[in-house]
Amino acid sequence: MSKLKGKHLITTMDWELDDLVKVIEVAEDMQKNRYADKYTKLLAFRTFLMFFYNPSVRTRQSFEAAATELGGHAQFLEPKSMRLKTAKSAGETVEDAANVMSRYGVGLGIRILESKIAHYGDGEKLLREYAKYSKIPIISMAHDKYHPMQSLADIMGLRKHLGKNLEGKTFTLAWGKGALARSWSSVQAALLLYSRFGMNVRIARPEGYDLDPEVIEYTKKQCEKNGKEFFITDNQEEAYEGSNVVYCRNWTTPNAYHDGEFHKEEEVEKSLKHQDWICDERKMKLTNDGLFIHPMPIDRGNEVSDEVASSKRSIIYDVAENRLHVQKATMALTMSDFEG
């Protein structure tokens, strides 16, 4: 039995680095041997439950495909159609729901992002509450603070294109203008995990677009521990210069939540004023033949130009596929007797 069986994955910080490497190595083998008999019955006749507070394309598709390829079934659930207790309505408590669902499935995934919470951190609190009462693994399918599956898929992609030893490679996280008012989840998950893999970390953003101070402080300390570079700048050229991988994505300001709600329109209006904040070919030419990476969906023409997104240095589709494989590996290791 895997030592990871029954373990929750809400952020990669919950796991030892060796265990995260194990997930990626299993995922890499699953990609090579996608329909091999050793994998196709691990979750036979078992159900993975999925709570989608927010909709998704890749997340639902990849988790359903993962469960199917492991021999199981993924059940799509929308909390709005269930009798769950909220701040404004009576219903079933998290304690009761978690205990009952623990008797139906072998795992529970939860996706809850900015538009479904009143304050930053509320999504994380909800996942932690489910984890407190659940008898089955709670898996974050993206919440307001972190997106662990996306960062694992990223690292799997970087290992393929840059080599399995990522130590000393330079990662540039660049803010991009956009019309989607995106949460901090994917970019913060990237900062936490890339720094643990020994990469240099650079953050380029306009004034007013700082991320969670706790995440920034951890990333800085991890880089210091590894003897690696870390800096934050509003100079895009400085951040792109000599980089091995550029991750350009929009994210909101720290003021996106106020008066008990998420203010999307305000964020979009502020964002689109920064017209020069886009990943384009001119900036990519400053890199060390750098890769372009993005969790998708991409706001083409705002976050990144079509020329870059569709270039040979773009690994966006590889990373999108990797979501399937790292999720399969995580499910196998936490929800079955598979040891890897």
DSSP notation for 5-36? TT--BSSGGGS-HHHHHHHHHHHHHHHHTTT-
Identity of the amino acid at 66: A
Residue 87 has pLDDT above 70, yes or no: no
One-character DSSP codes across 39-63 = HHTTTTT-EEEEEESS--SHHHHHH
Distance CA 244, CA 291 (A): 6
Q: State the average pLDDT over residues 305-323.
A: 98
Region 77-84 average pLDDT: 84
* pLDDT score at 1: 66
Per-residue pLDDT tens for 241-262? Answer: 999 999 999 999 999 999 999 9
Distance from chain centroid for Cα 271: 22
**Stretch 154-177: mean pLDDT, rounded?**
98
Instruction: Kindly state the DSSP code that residue 37 receives in the 8-state scheme.
Output: H
Task: Name the one residue in this structure whose structure tokens are 């709570």.
Answer: 51
Residues 6+ apart with CB under 8 A from 42: 70, 71, 72, 331, 332, 336, 338
> What pLDDT sits at residue 82?
81
Determine the pLDDT at residue 88: 60
Q: What is the mean pLDDT of residues 302-324?
A: 98
pLDDT at residue 228 in the model = 98
CATH of domain 12-146+322-335: 3.40.50.1370
Residue spans of the domains in the chain: they are 12-146+322-335, 151-319
Distance CA 186, CA 247 (A): 10
12-146+322-335 and 151-319 have identical folds: yes
pLDDT exceeds 90 at position 2: no
What percent of the chain is predicted at pLDDT more than 90? 93
**How does pLDDT run across 192-245, given as a tens digit for each residue?**
999 999 999 999 999 999 999 999 999 999 999 999 999 999 999 999 999 999
Given pLDDT bands bounded at 50, 70 and 90, which one contains residue 86?
low
Question: Given a cut of 70, is residue 85 above it in pLDDT?
Answer: no
Mean pLDDT of the chain: 96
pLDDT, tens only, 133-152: 999 999 999 999 999 999 99
Q: Mean pLDDT, to the nearest integer, of 32-36?
A: 97
322 CB-side CA count, 13 A: 28
Q: What is the mean pLDDT of residues 128-137?
A: 98
pLDDT of 271:
97
Tell whether the model's pLDDT for residue 112 goes beyond 90: yes
Query: What CATH class has 151-319?
Result: alpha beta
